[in-house]
Chains A and B, each alone.
Chain A
Amino acid sequence: MSLFMVLIGLVSCKPGGQSRIYSFIDYDTAKPHDLLNTSYSTIPVYDFDEFEKLLRVHPEKTYVVNFWATWCKPCVKEIPYFEKLQKDYRDLGVEVVLVSLDFPNRVEGQLLPFIEQQELKSQIILLDDPNQNEWIPKVDKDWSGAIPATLIFNADKREFHEKSFTFISLEAELQGFLN
């Protein structure tokens, strides 16, 4: 079981068979309470206490953590921008993480089909923790809870945005972390 977890935690396969290293997700640091599978990826399910352990800084990484859901139209609209950001900037140590807030009972019917259909390449997490008043302020004290919302952080800086992005505005925000 632990070997299984370590394997999934470190390596995941794209449809093309090319392997990638994920470092934001680490099952030794934070244990998911469930794992969901698409045909080409694994999605860990976390409560906030475990998920919070992943929000740690890494000396060489910039994390772009987007809170979204398939039922949120402005969120869905900007998903391709995050995907493009992941593709364009991964070699510069940028990692995009898409944290889904989809309802657990709609995961099979909506979330997983959406991921398959869009062939999402970024790491996806399902954050399943109904006690939102407890955890929302821990992500950012000014977050009202509306999505889309995006947290960008590295060793030097941390910024939270409760708003929608265009690719240009998202890239501009990220640039501020890379210079």
Chain B
Amino acid sequence: MKIARLLLMLLTFSGLYAFGPPKTINEGYSIGDLAADFTLKNVDGEMISLSDYNEAKGFLVVFTCNSCPYANAYEERIIALDRKYKMSGVPVIAINPNNPKYRPEDSFENMQTRAKDKSYSFPYLMDEKQEVYPLYGAKRTPHCFLLEKTNSGNVVRYIGAIDDNYQDATEVEVSYVENAIDSMLEGGKISIEITKAIGCSIK
């Protein structure tokens, strides 16, 4: 009888174990990780991959969108970053991670309109299968990932916000992304590698 009960307990526990939640959850990239390349559709209809950029020294991958007020507040600054760093070999690659089913403002057509109206000088890609943002670990828009191209691949060097004042670009005290790109291009250490910011959750 005792043995039967023991067996039953064992079965119960093994059952719980087998059907319990997985222990490891993919939290996305950390500093120093190699970032995967992707092939996503740009607003001009072309398919874009990081490997298309032969001359690049790195990439500023920004998960952003049409619908989020924080993304809107940073839009001009994202355009300015591309203007400033593309020539130095670090272009902006913007990716909209949202599903237009939940956020109609983030549809491909609306992305095209916005990119045209605001004269985006960088690709604005759609993460159509919503596979790229979870791989990177993007949690919100806007969310930046600075990658450095090396012989072993694209290394994640900075993750986080663009700067420390979403409300007013003229009141910014620390330009996290600019400092990170400057340090990366000089071959130096990036002093602030991870920052947090309020943003719209990705849907």
Q: Which residues of A contact B (CB under 8 A)?
A: 69, 71-74, 101, 103-106, 130-134, 136-137, 143-148, 162, 164
Contact = CB atoms under 8 A, between A and B. Distances in A.
A133 B197 contact: yes
A147 B201 contact: yes
A151 B171 CA distance: 30
Contacts of A136: 196-198
A111 to B, nearest CB: 12
Given A132-B196, A136-B198, A162-B139, 11 more contacts: A72-B201, A74-B203, A101-B198, A106-B69, A131-B164, A133-B176, A133-B195, A146-B199, A147-B199, A147-B200, A147-B201
A132 B202 CA distance: 19
B91 interface: no
B196 A133 contact: yes
Contacts, number: 71
Contact of A130 (B160, B171, B195, B203): B171
B166 interface: yes
Nearest to A104: B167
Contacts of A131: 164-165, 173
Contact of B140 (A137, A144, A164): A144
A103 B70 CA distance: 9
Nearest to B159: A144
Contacts of B199: 145-147
Nearest to B102: A73
B164 A145 contact: no
A69 B195 CA distance: 21
B144 interface: no
B165 to A, nearest CB: 4
B196 A137 contact: yes
B198 to A, nearest CB: 5
A162 B201 CA distance: 9
B69 A71 contact: yes
A98 to B, nearest CB: 15
A1 B100 CA distance: 50
